[in-house]
Structure 1
Amino acid sequence: MNQPAQQQEFPGSEQEMTPKPDHGEESYRGSGRLEGKFAVITGADSGIGKAVAIAYAREGADVLVSYLDEHEDAKETCRLVEEAGRRAVAVSGDLADPAHCREVIRRAVEEFGRIDVLVSNAAFQMDHPTLEEVPDEEWDRTLAVNLSAFFHLVKAALPHMHEGASIIGSSSVNSDMPSPTLIPYAATKAGIANMTASMAQSLAERGIRANSVAPGPVWTPLIPSTMPPEKVESFGEQVPMGRPGQPAELAPVYVLLASDEGSYISGARIAVTGGKPIL
């Protein structure tokens, strides 16, 4: 895959990307692995979250689609969930606000009655050549959206999760091989990996599993909306496969971790990196 240099305003839109990302719209085939489950997915309007929402719906789960303000993208995700014969609940708002995190969970419980799968996937990043160029408020926002929201979502969801439930955090290859131009983002992704490892131990006696997924470079709106055009053009070339991953290529791992087939997988950090190892 060769993507041209391009740039968007954050948070970006898949509609303006060239080429368009593949979320599995035409390729993902379900087999009932999540039949009857209820899932909350943040950042589900586009990118990895959208691919996971499509896969979960085609595997039999109803889905709450949490997103910031990308209404057209979120509407398309909901359409695809409903096309699969499942319920879609869209909730917009800023996860940097703990009250909104609680509102996302409240809506899920109101609509579904319980939560079987929580995927904390929404993220913010911005590329800066030096640490001094990172504004204080950007540091605070990155931690709030990427890491603190994970804490608030899980805390609110746990009373509504039962034995067999699954918590999945979207970490990153940056969690142990941090990019020097993504210092706040990398720190939060390490935190997510650490939090899930802790939760896997503390929640085991309740029968609730916690894992994280560590993607490498993936072609999502976050890339053209947070990186300079020349980095976008070469994005993904650094991994052994020589290209960025497509969101559809991440979805099967999230399905496994949400499914009953993953019943003994907890405390794991699964790399989906195009051949780049994680420590």
Structure 2
Amino acid sequence: MAGQVAGKVALVTGGASGIGQAIAELLAQEGASVVVTDIDELKGPEVVAGIRKAGGEQAIFLQQDVTSEPRWAEVVAEIEQRFGRLDVLVANAGIGIGVLSIVEMSLADWRRQTAINLDGVFLSVKYCLPLMRKGGRGGSIIMMSSLAGLRGSATLAGYSATKGGVRLFAKSIAMECASFGDGIRVNSVHPGIIDTPIWAKIPPGASSGQNAPIDPQELARLATPLGRAGQAQEIAQGVLYLASDASSYVTGTELVIDGGMFAGTAVRRS
């Protein structure tokens, strides 16, 4: 069905590549005006150009470091000036830092990862929620967590800490919005092994002790009941559902999109 988010204004952080790019493109395809933000000033405009070429005329790119509080105030002010409201917030920007042992993680890396993955989500809500409430039309806040936010990972302890925090932050803001009666729903999305550029940014050896880069397809073949890595577009479809009125009775919960990993272990018979 076309136009599932027609007439809505959506902000997607970390929208220059991977899952964020797929989300921005699908929301625009389904009728939303999309604001793409990212620290990447080269790829971000390319994503918006592609959206416009495909017919999504109401798409803009704003450079943003999600850890900068002053920049958040500027981004939200720009959205209000251009569109007058905000209906959908997708807090997607994040990084993953893996280490063989937590004792090898520097405090600087711990703090950098926490600043982007957790502080950035906090700031997104702090600055976007007032504009969403001002519109008086309700809305949807979607926070990108991870399968690592639902269960432990031996080599991603710091990452899991941030994504677990996002999960409970989403539930708490969902309860706040419900208590205010503002019609804003809040949920978290938990991808499993998804074939995106983030794997190239995790240091080789973080998961296996070897120096070869992590191959998400091979990792998923061994670890995922469905036997393959997910695609960014498959996460985007879940986000579209949460952004649309089809999920009007869904708040404070997790959408797990992981090929069955969280459910258990399956031995394929063929």
Same fold, TM exceeding 0.5?
Answer: yes
Match of 2:241 among 256, 262, 272: 256
The aligned counterpart of 1:22 is none
Could you say what secondary structure the match of 1:271 adopts? strand
Residue 278 (structure 1) shift: 5.6
The aligned counterpart of 2:93 is 122
The aligned counterpart of 1:80 is 50
Would you say 1:270 and 2:246 are equivalent positions?
Answer: no
**Maintained 8 Å contact 1:96/1:141:** no
Match of 1:219 among 180, 195, 200: 195
Could you say what secondary structure the match of 2:60 adopts? strand
The aligned counterpart of 2:215 is 232
Q: Residue 248 of structure 2 aligns to which amino acid in structure 1?
A: S
Q: Residue 202 of structure 1 aligns to which amino acid in structure 2?
A: E
The aligned counterpart of 1:148 is 119
| Aligned residues: CA RMSD | 1.6
**Maintained 8 Å contact 2:96/2:201:** no
1:180-204 per-position Cα deviation (integer Å, ceiling 9, x unaligned): 1111111111111101111111102
| Partners of 2:73 and 2:165 in 1: CA distance | 21
**Maintained 8 Å contact 2:22/2:232:** yes
Is 179-188 or 98-107 further displaced after alignment?
Answer: 98-107
| Partners of 1:178 and 1:101 in 2: CA distance | 31
Name structure 2 gaps, 5 residues minimum: 205-211, 265-270
The aligned counterpart of 1:173 is 147
Name structure 1 gaps, 5 residues minimum: 1-29
| Partners of 2:168 and 2:137 in 1: CA distance | 22
| Partners of 1:180 and 1:277 in 2: CA distance | 16
**Maintained 8 Å contact 1:177/1:278:** no
**Maintained 8 Å contact 1:32/1:58:** yes
**Maintained 8 Å contact 1:105/1:153:** no
**Maintained 8 Å contact 1:102/1:153:** no
1:30-58 per-position Cα deviation (integer Å, ceiling 9, x unaligned): 61111110000001011111111111001
| Partners of 1:277 and 1:191 in 2: CA distance | 18
The aligned counterpart of 1:186 is 160
| Structure 1: 4+ residue segments shifted above 3 A | none
Would you say 1:99 and 2:74 are equivalent positions?
Answer: no
1:62-104 per-position Cα deviation (integer Å, ceiling 9, x unaligned): 1111111251x22231022212233111111321222223322
The aligned counterpart of 1:20 is none
Q: Higher RCO, 1 or 2 (CA under 8 Å, sep at least 6)?
A: 1
Residue 166 (structure 1) shift: 0.5
Residue 164 (structure 1) shift: 2.5
**Maintained 8 Å contact 2:98/2:159:** no
1:278–1:107 Cα change, 3 Å: farther
Would you say 1:197 and 2:171 are equivalent positions?
Answer: yes
| Partners of 1:124 and 1:239 in 2: CA distance | 22
1:200-246 per-position Cα deviation (integer Å, ceiling 9, x unaligned): 11102111100011000111111112141343263323111222111
Q: Which has the larger radius of gyration?
A: 2
Residue 263 (structure 1) shift: 0.6
